[in-house]
Amino acid sequence: MMRFILSALKSGYDIQNIVVISSDNNLLLKAKENGLVHRKMPETYLIKEELSEEEKEIKALKQELE
């Protein structure tokens, strides 16, 4: 995480032209602490988490019962 922030800071770009967009609150906090523009990633753009094996089995059993 800190490597990402340091890379942005050392990139040579104007700090106001760097925008960190993330769903990771820790990364956003570090960006804020270092003066970077930061935004929370909208939920609509997040990748849906894959179901666990147990959740997959439950889903399959529910479909089977229907």
pLDDT band for position 6 (cuts 50, 70, 90) = very high
Name the strand (E) or helix (H) holding 59: helix 53-65
Q: By percentage, how much of the chain surpasses pLDDT 90?
A: 71
66, pLDDT greater than 90: no
Q: Which domain holds residue 30?
A: 2-65
Angstrom distances, CA of residue 51 to CA of 6, 19, 26, 31, 57: 34, 32, 25, 31, 9
Q: Scanning the structure block, which residue is given the tokens 């399959």?
A: 60
Number of domains in the chain: 1
- CA-wise closest residue to 30 among 57, 8, 52: 8
